[in-house]
Structure 1
Amino acid sequence: MSETAARRDAELRARAEIDLAALRANVRALRERAPGAALMAVVKADGYGHGAAPCARAAVAAGATWLGTATPHEALALRADAGVPDDVRIMCWLWTPGGPWREAVEAGLDVSVSAPWALTEVTEAARLAGRPALVQLKADTGLGRGGCQPGADWEDLVGGALRAEAEGLLRVTGLWSHFARADEPGHPSIAAQLARFHEMTAYAEGRGVRPDVRHIANSPATLTLPEAHFDLVRPGIAMYGVSPSPEIGTPADLGLRPVMTLTAALALVKQVPGGHGVSYGHLYTTPGDTTLGLVPLGYADGVPRHASSTGPVLVDGKWRTVAGRIAMDQFVVDLGGDRPEAGAEAVLFGPGDRGEPTAEDWAQAAGTIGYEIVTRIGSRVPRVYVNE
């Protein structure tokens, strides 16, 4: 089977439609929330499952001047993409010893440094590349994850970076951090982290660091904390039209539109009697004579198994619920008295304006967050781009 035929067959089974017009509108809406700051479009994890390169190009078209990824390999792939202009800055932040520092330096990526070992490796890479590295120093202001600890560790890191800068091996282009609880408006840790960020950036600048950008605002901070916008904001999930948390509001409340719509064609429709067990473990038994529909998506495709017996699906204009356990490749819905044909569309989630569930509905059903619902959709599900 040719690659084209295989893709066509896959699209007949299921598809994730990616509305790039919605993504561009979301980026513009986020820029309006932070008019005094530049915008970094975070496209890590293959654009939160939406496709990194197409989403990066759409975000840039809507005014993003930076792109952000977790791993250097993600960033290098974007830098090689012909559709991403050379003047768009690309930053990556999740490094391990022995990573592709030289390739990153040669590609002109901004790289994050949080520890002495990383500073040593990036300066050696700069020597080999014959050009200065673009380095952003990350401060741990309270997340307790990546970033350099305040106090002596931060002082040593800043001092080491300045010495390397004096040797022409790097330029400190940024000072940055990340919130722990910005998705909980009013939580006291937010103000504490902002205060710590001011202290740590002031120390670095007092020592002579002259960064291009200072940044700490993720999606929730971009939406709700103008005092955290500084020179650059880094929206991720909001760019894809998914709310960072129920406390902040629905996508519609925030002026955002979900970008991904996940659909599948019913693979089988059949009538069964009452008392009929459904799927592994027979967690669900039909209460009476009914119609079952087989949806050809499963946990291998990213449909969360934790949503067994709870996940919502729209079929023929009606909300249905997953009947029993979600399997690797498929799950069942009880259609009651309806008898759609095989091939009828089942909508797992989308913007919600056709009455379909949203990613937030699936997150609630699975006991997780909207981020995970869209990001986990697997490679067997073709991404179909519309409104390019």
Structure 2
Amino acid sequence: MTQPITVVIPTRERADTLRHCLETVVAQNCDRLKILVSDNASSPATRAVVESFGDARIRYANTGQRLSMAHNYEFALSHVDTGWIVMLGDDDGLVAGRLEPTVALLEDSGLRALSSETCFYNWPKVVSAREPALTVPLGSAVETVRSQDAVADILRVVRPKARLPQTYTGGIIHADVIRAARAKDGSFFRSQIPDIYSSFAITATVERFVYSTAPFAIAGRSSHSIGAALFKLEPNAFLEEELIPFHVDFPLGDLATLSFSMPAIQFECHTQAAFLHHGQTGVSKQRMLEVILANTKTGRAEIMAWGRTFAALHGLDYDAAVQRIAAVRHESRLLDGWRSARNLIACARLYEGDPMPLANVREASETAAALLADPPSRMLSVLKTLKRRYV
């Protein structure tokens, strides 16, 4: 039996990008499409944008008061109780014509979760001319991935071959998966970084998932984006919310956050999900300390001080971790270099000034679909990118 597909868009004071995000969704050729906009107590402009579409498939829900990002995501998911769930950021989008075929692929597999490579779109005036405005993965491979193996790679900080499925851009999850995880604790999200946490909650709930190198979604980076702002040692609006506390195994010290380090966030989110995966961490606290210290790029003195606090809490050998920094950093750079080289070949890129339209994510959606239908020469794309970066 065909099940509904609900595209969920949590939003907060971003009417300008939300309009174009919604345009990419309503344009999908999909008879079973539903759309939910979860408005985190924004000004009237957000509701006005939603109502301007006059589309019966769009449902609007308002939290009534300002919530943290994770709590807004939880509120949004509480309005979907059946079928497939696709969550998008309000400056993200869907590739034209790609939603229904991707969900059909997942349905044919008999599994309940899918992850995919995503296109990346930089909204105007966000990046320099050396960075691409649009990056489109050109792969077409599909495979079934064992959740336990994919998570083990993440925790060892081996750059995984397959992205983990998540309740965010590039993931498709069945409502039954959300329900199963929520049944253990009453809520789905247990970390203030909801997209990363959801990856560990989902993979603890499903034994296998589908991974596709063909994109159906576009991750946007705009002036509103939280991601880049998080990984700085400075206050931002996100951290002023009433957040879900970080796990007690990860002391905050003077920093008041773990967002200085992606590995720290990943380890914390996996630890928060321990009640779903029977407490199996897959990596020692000593290894966590080594990886966090080696992969932190800002606030070196502050992070080293944090490392001492973490080591003292868990009875770790701090000096041994410091001695391992160079080796772990070298390992990470080799892996990052390999991944960058692979992506250089595997993706098409467009830059500001190229003839194809890229003024907003809706135009990027149509352009990405055109590139997937008629892929450019990969060699020419590589040469063009190298010229932009180094000439």
Shared fold, TM over 0.5: no
Normalized against structure 2, the TM-score is what? 0.30
Where relative contact order (Cα < 8 A, 6+ residues apart) is larger, the structure is 2
Point out the structure with the larger strand share. 1
- The higher radius of gyration belongs to 1
Point out the structure with the larger helix share. 2
